[in-house]
Amino acid sequence: MYPEHIRKIKFIDKENDTELIFLTNNFSLPPDTIAALYKDRWEIELFFKWIKQHLRIKSFYGTSVNAVKTQIWVAISIYVLVAIIKKKLEFTESLYTILQIFSINLFNKVFINQLLNNKEN
């Protein structure tokens, strides 16, 4: 069924007391290394899921490594700035709500504290 041989690795996660099974075509690395690689890959997947959920990046404008990194750093910078604004102004609404208010009022010349304290937004 598979074009090449596949190696099945069983790994016991002692922290969570679970048994994990990995399939790989790498026969040269030890099982612990394969499990660590899958764990790292999972962390990357969770990072991109977080980016999609919180930074509102649905697709990347460029395909080069530099373009992707730049877009992620810009989005993270905006997220952090909005979080700082929320804390400084003691705004109770979510970061998502603040971003929505900002996007609606993008070209209005209004102070941020007035914009967020205005109940008519």
Is pLDDT of 70 > 60?
Answer: yes
Q: Which residues are 13's β-sheet partners?
A: 18
pTM of the model: 0.57
Tokens of 93: 């609404």
What's the rounded Cα separation, in Å, for the pair 69 and 30?
32
Span 43-58, pLDDT tens digits: 989 988 888 787 778 7
Alpha helices for 2-111 (secondary structure H) = 31-54, 65-88, 95-104
For the residues 3-32, what does the mean pLDDT come to? 89
Is pLDDT of 4 > 70?
Answer: yes
Confidence class for position 1, pLDDT limits 50, 70, 90? low
Which of 3-17, 19-33, 50-64 shows the lowest per-residue confidence on average (mean pLDDT)?
Answer: 50-64
Q: Distances from the Cα of 104 to the Cαs of 32, 79, 81, 97, 120, in angstroms?
A: 50, 17, 18, 11, 12
What's the rounded Cα separation, in Å, for the pair 84 and 116?
13
Phi-psi region at 56: left, alpha or beta (left = phi > 0; alpha = psi -120 to 50)? left
- pLDDT of the residue at 97: 85
Q: Tell me what the pLDDT averaged over the chain comes to.
A: 86
For the residues 28-48, what does the mean pLDDT come to? 90
Q: Which amino acid, residue 79? A: Y
Span 85-110, pLDDT tens digits: 999 988 888 888 888 888 888 888 88
